[in-house]
Amino acid sequence: MLNKIIRSKETLIDFPCPNKNQILKLHIAYLRAMLKVGILGGGQLGRMLLQAAANYPVETHVLENDDNCPAAYLCRHFKKGNICDFDAVYNFGKGLDAITIEIENVNVEALEKLENEGVKVYPKPSVLRIIQNKILQKQYYSQHQIPTSPYAILNSKNEIAQSPQFLPGVQKLATGGYDGRGVQIIETITDAEEGFDEPSVLEKRIKIRKEIAQIVAIDQQGKTVLYPAVEMVFNKDLNQLDYQLCPADIPKEVLWKVEAIAVSVVRNFQSPGIFAVELFIDDNNEIFVNETAPRVHNSGHHTIEAHYSSQFDMLWRIILGYPLGNTKYILPSIMVNIIGSEQHSGNAEYSGLKDVLTIDNAFVHIYGKQQTKPGRKMGHVTILSAEKQDLIHKANKIKQALSVVAETR
């Protein structure tokens, strides 16, 4: 109870206590002490959060099952444990002042209990409940008049045949899908037999002209700032992200709509944090929200070097109650993911790293993952340049030079 009282000035003032001075002192002591902040998940996003945390007075904690993960050695306290397990998350969080995530797939019940006990959670568990379930996420967009592709909610694969108006479509499992898993294309009713036989969403496929990511930061008082929108350029043959360009090359009128829609997505969550809203733009410049990540995100990596306040810096500002940072870019940028090569599994070896490091203004981030696997995100490179053509030229150079292969002995 006291814990809750000293957390908020408002509560303090209204508290009918015989010794307000004593509590005031505790409150001041709390404000001065280094905040203890936990991160659920120890991947590259956690690692970059920790690199940024070292600029501020904050005591960092990480919970992650793999004690050799990218974030394991950059935090003040590392705890080995399963972020999907109630007890692991609750026990990790109960001594902390605040907790955040670097992946959505965490135990929400534990976070709700922690929130009730006064631990601040970024984003709020109520947001995670919606995001973790693709059906709830779609309904959230509909409920708030946020444009998204037309969809049907299915309980089994038999229902695909009853929804021909959503074909060709994309079927997404309500829960359990992650990073490409739990998603498949249904071209025609004849494909229905191959469909997922579980609760899912069937979305009508949009003819995508551009894919955009819009990062929005929202502080504890509800103030929002937007990063410049990012354009995700895909390799159509490999269906793989080729690079991300910032700022996105879209007309002003479209950009304004993107921003308005993204702010609407985020404001209605009523939660502080960093949010990455992924949107599709079709040939008629119609905009559709695809998905939202309520956390620091792959589409914001470039902000480390290319922007005044990076997404990682920004999240710390939000958690520590500091003013929001400047989201403007210093220079336009392009970001290339470093991906584990096909048919290579084993100890990671970075072929061509020296060639990449000869490229002027290329910032290399290797995540420190020991093992490579086909398609695994092993690092990224951000390039800064005032010229879009220079950015694309260098991005292609990097994609050709660099590969992550398995060590041969």
Confirm or reject binding of residue 267 to a second copy (CB under 8 A): no
Nearest of 292, 255, 290, 287 to residue 277 by alpha carbon: 292
Confirm or reject binding of residue 142 to a second copy (CB under 8 A): no
Q: Are 92 and 61 in contact (CB under 8 A)?
A: yes
Kind and range of the H or E element at 283? none
Q: Which of 23, 84, 366, 401 binds a second copy (CB under 8 A)?
A: 366
Size of the site for a second copy (CB under 8 A): 40
Give the three-class secondary structure for 266.
helix
Confirm or reject binding of residue 322 to a second copy (CB under 8 A): yes
Confirm or reject binding of residue 368 to a second copy (CB under 8 A): yes
By CB atoms closer than 10 A (0-12, 13-18, 19+), residue 397 is middle
Q: Among the candidate windows 8-16, 98-106, 188-196, 321-329, which touches a second copy by CB under 8 A?
A: 321-329
The bridge status of strand 98-101 relative to strand 120-122 is: parallel
Q: What is the DSSP string of 302-350?
A: THHHHBSS-HHHHHHHHHTTPPP----BSS-EEEEEEEBPTT--EEEEE
Q: Among the candidate windows 15-23, 114-122, 159-167, 355-363, which touches a second copy by CB under 8 A?
A: 355-363
Q: Among the candidate windows 85-93, 168-176, 183-191, 351-359, which touches a second copy by CB under 8 A?
A: 351-359
Q: Which of 323, 342, 371, 387 binds a second copy (CB under 8 A)?
A: 323
Q: Which of 7, 15, 24, 73 binds a second copy (CB under 8 A)?
A: 73
Cis peptide before 168 (omega within 30 of 0): yes
Smallest distance, a second copy to C-beta of residue 93, A: 20
In angstroms, the first-to-last Cα distance of the chain is: 60
DSSP state at residue 359: S
Q: Among the candidate windows 71-79, 148-156, 179-187, 388-396, which touches a second copy by CB under 8 A?
A: 71-79
Q: Are 334 and 359 in contact (CB under 8 A)?
A: no
Confirm or reject binding of residue 331 to a second copy (CB under 8 A): yes
Name which of 353 and 392 has its Cβ closer to a second copy: 353
Q: Which of 10, 21, 32, 207 binds a second copy (CB under 8 A)?
A: 32
Confirm or reject binding of residue 373 to a second copy (CB under 8 A): no
Confirm or reject binding of residue 37 to a second copy (CB under 8 A): no
Sequence-distant (6+) residues with CB within 8 A of 68 are 370
The footprint of a second copy (CB under 8 A) covers 25, 29, 32, 47, 50-51, 54-57, 60, 73-76, 308, 317, 321-323, 325-326, 330-331, 349-350, 353-354, 357-358, 360-361, 363-366, 368, 384, 407, 409
